[in-house]
Amino acid sequence: MKISPACTKVVALLSVLGGNSVNAFSPSKASTIRISRSLNTSPSALASTTVEPTAAATEDVATSKPLEPKSTVAAIPKFAQRWRKRTKQLATLGPASDTFEMIETLFLAGADIFRLNFSHGSQEQKLDLLRMIREVEEKYSHPIAVLGDLQGPKLRVGEFSNPNGEVLEQGQTFRLDLDEALGDSTRVMLPHPEIIAASEIDHVLLVDDGKVKLTVVGKGDKDQHLDCRVDVPGKISNRKGVNTPDSVLDISPLTPKDRSDLEYMVGIGVDWIALSFVQQPSDIDEIQALITQHLPEGAFRPAVMAKIEKPSCFVGDNLENIVDKCDGIMVARGDLGVECAPEDVPLLQKQIIDECRKRAKPVVVATQMLESMIESPTPTRAEASDVATAIYDGADAIMLSAESAAGKFPEESVAMQQRIINRVEGDTHYRSYLDQLSMTKKSTPADAITTAARQIAQTTNAKAIVCFTLQGSTVLRVSQERPTVPILGITPFKETARQLAMSWGVYPNLPRSGSFGFTSDDEDFFNYENPATDGETDDDFDVVLKNACRAALRKGLVNDPNDLLVVTAGLPFGTPGAANVIRVLPAAGPQCWDGICRVD
């Protein structure tokens, strides 16, 4: 047994990236070079996210010459923690963050996903933002997910004759009707007959985010009006919002504007679509059908995220069915906090997160996480604790809304979230909290493989779990296990890599055409239903395993040739969900062990 020349180069390159693997990321595109030139590999199989050594640097290592400090990747510690977190960060873009420079800044500060809020701005503005995000993605060769958020129905009262509105007194009767006449202190138009039809005696209506509380005490013939008692007095004015916590409304979650925005999202290629105003599982069926209708032929299907903000989602088995039908969940605590008792929201948040983990679906906790940082460079201690609680609960991602979209300190808000993430994930209690939730396993080979991968990685002190996946299902199963090591997701589809950016602990690898055994012919490469593969021999699988080692090196997940990786894959390649192979191999490659490499 001899050490092959190729292995010598791998060891040399690993040595160049030695030290703390945390430092294996740099924002400098100019200093990024192709590792393939040193390894004599095809550039199409590689996608770098790190500063990689030059050929001269490689020769210096091979001859034991000292390296200049400027040739190491530790020269830019500002971004050292960029790849060392499990919980993902979602930042909303808006007037404060609508330039390439700011999007790049937020990405480098920790943002993994960017949210385009279609409640504000034009469709063309969202396309401009999407293009800038893709430019940042291309610059750093790292997949970035884009979430398009639909506005959903906005239920509002009509207008008053007094432009300043009216003040309602406690105990008075106030009518909501369909009359288009301007309102006064006794009545106002409610231009939503669905609310009147669905409301029953003793149902509660909340106006202006709960500042005014009305209880239904009477209902007109043919659902023409509601007579309400004012239980919480206050001012009511033009076009204030109405929440209906006790009623399931017979309306679609998709308005005409939403349907137009949805078609536009599908056309421009967003990775995730968030559906507002979800009341019941059938709402997910509706948006899935529309996506199928508008999806261009041969295009990759966007993932659907249901925003949980209505109490009806918790009736019976609605929550379980909603999670089953969609691809991810957002805990939209704004409207949820209005329609549910404030003391219930933390419990509901934990319930939603646990349900998503049991079903291997990513979950995002959103709304008012660092609200004070819209105006202040630092959060309140209560806000920091709120963010930490979501992380301890096991959320896949945490979101910023106005903080990054319209606030004065968008970069500081993202950086603060990342600091809290790193602090919590370094706490010894964090692991014990993650392990408390018992998972119900399916009796499938794929689930057995992913469970074994977690156990083997922990037993062998492996540096990472590497998953080869087509549409992400295997990676999601591994993420569900919440392993103690990073999950490197390798896929031939950039769209899958982007969608996986939402999932806990996953380091998605942005592919190039021809990666890990897939053909470089674009027509075959983008056949998502039946992807083609190159060859079927054992040697091809060795090439796949070598690519796994290279990808782990580029992500900075290994820094020694003897570092171990646990690799899962499905044979034959091109079979979605067919995880049936598990291998343990050193970072030096599949033909090496304990520093000795086989030469055929």
| Distance, CA of 262 to CA of 273 (rounded, Å) | 8
Domain-embedded: residue 160: no
Same domain assignment for residues 141 and 191:
no
Same domain assignment for residues 137 and 100:
yes
Same domain assignment for residues 425 and 457:
no
Phi-psi group of 293: left, alpha or beta (phi > 0 → left; psi -120 to 50 → alpha; rest → beta): alpha
**Element counts in the chain: helices (H) and strands (E):** 20, 23
Same domain assignment for residues 218 and 339:
no
| Distance, CA of 413 to CA of 401 (rounded, Å) | 10
Domain-embedded: residue 161: no
pLDDT score of 83: 64
What dihedral do alpha carbons 363, 367, 369, 370 form, nearest 10°?
140
Domain-embedded: residue 351: yes
Domain-embedded: residue 159: no
pLDDT score of 162: 96
Q: Which pLDDT tens digit goes with each residue over 396-415?
A: 999 999 999 999 999 999 99
Domain-embedded: residue 440: no
Boundary of a domain, candidates 35, 54, 79:
79
Residue that is written with structure tokens 């940082």 in the block: 373
Residue 487: which CATH number?
Answer: 3.40.1380.20
Give the burial class of 577: count Cβ atoms within 10 A of its Cβ; 0-12 exposed, 13-18 middle, 19 or more buried: middle
Same domain assignment for residues 182 and 321:
no
| Distance, CA of 556 to CA of 84 (rounded, Å) | 9
Tell me the mean pLDDT in the region 478-487: 94
| Distance, CA of 175 to CA of 218 (rounded, Å) | 9
pLDDT score of 183: 97
| Nearest residue to 227 (alpha-carbon basis) of 172, 169, 173 | 173
Pairing of strands 397-400, 464-468: unpaired
Residue that is written with structure tokens 């086989």 in the block: 598
Q: Which pLDDT tens digit goes with each residue over 410-437?
A: 999 999 999 999 999 999 999 999 998 8
> Confidence class of residue 527 from pLDDT cuts 50, 70 and 90?
very low
> Confidence class of residue 235 from pLDDT cuts 50, 70 and 90?
very high
- At residue 566, φ and ψ (nearest 5 deg) are -105, 120
Same domain assignment for residues 123 and 272:
yes
| Nearest residue to 550 (alpha-carbon basis) of 589, 514, 519, 513 | 589
pLDDT of 520 higher than 50: no
Same domain assignment for residues 382 and 313:
yes
| Distance, CA of 47 to CA of 49 (rounded, Å) | 7
Same domain assignment for residues 262 and 238:
no
pLDDT score of 545: 85
pLDDT score of 46: 27
Tell me the mean pLDDT in the region 508-527: 51
Q: Which pLDDT tens digit goes with each residue over 439-481?
A: 766 778 888 999 999 999 999 999 999 999 888 999 999 999 9
- For residue 63, what are the contacts with CB-CB under 8 A and spacing of at least 6? none
CB-side exposure of 477: number of CA atoms within 13 Å? 28
* Overall domain count for the chain: 4
Same domain assignment for residues 431 and 548:
no
Domain-embedded: residue 12: yes
Same domain assignment for residues 191 and 132:
no
pLDDT of 350 higher than 80: yes
Boundary of a domain, candidates 180, 209, 243:
243
- For residue 426, what are the contacts with CB-CB under 8 A and spacing of at least 6? none
Is residue 272 within 8 Å of residue 148, measured between CB atoms?
A: yes
Domain-embedded: residue 509: yes
Of 124-133, 277-286, 526-535, 574-583, the least confident? 526-535
Q: Which pLDDT tens digit goes with each residue over 103-130?
A: 999 999 999 999 999 999 999 999 999 9
Tokens of 569: 């894959």
| Distance, CA of 474 to CA of 220 (rounded, Å) | 55
Q: How far is CA 258 from CA 118, 288, 290, 295, in A?
A: 8, 14, 11, 16
pLDDT score of 591: 78
Checking 177-181 for CB contacts under 8 A at 24+ apart, the result is: 177/220, 177/224, 177/225, 177/226, 178/224, 178/225
pLDDT score of 226: 97
Boundary of a domain, candidates 405, 435, 465:
435
Q: How far is CA 480 from CA 186, 252, 450, in A?
A: 54, 32, 9
| Distance, CA of 165 to CA of 386 (rounded, Å) | 35
Domain-embedded: residue 576: yes
Residue 197: which CATH number?
Answer: 2.40.33.10
Q: Which pLDDT tens digit goes with each residue over 294-344?
A: 999 989 999 999 999 999 999 999 999 999 999 999 999 988 999 999 999
pLDDT score of 577: 66
Q: How far is CA 446 from CA 469, 569, 575, in A?
A: 12, 9, 12
| Distance, CA of 598 to CA of 36 (rounded, Å) | 21
pLDDT score of 259: 98
**Helix, strand, or coil (residue 204):** strand
| Nearest residue to 96 (alpha-carbon basis) of 118, 49, 56, 129 | 129
Same domain assignment for residues 70 and 130:
no
Q: Percent of the chain scored above 70 by pLDDT? A: 79
The larger pLDDT score, comparing residue 188 to residue 438, is at 188
Same domain assignment for residues 497 and 377:
no
Is residue 455 within 8 Å of residue 485, measured between CB atoms?
A: no
pLDDT score of 574: 65
| Distance, CA of 362 to CA of 243 (rounded, Å) | 27
pLDDT score of 571: 77
> pTM value?
0.83
How high does pLDDT run on average in the chain?
83
pLDDT of 537 higher than 80: no
Q: Which domain holds residue 96?
A: 88-153+253-435
H or E segment to which residue 117 belongs? strand 113-117
| Distance, CA of 418 to CA of 405 (rounded, Å) | 17
The larger pLDDT score, comparing residue 390 to residue 29, is at 390
> Within a 10 A sphere around the Cβ of 425, how many other Cβ atoms?
17
pLDDT of 253 higher than 60: yes
H or E segment to which residue 236 belongs? strand 234-236
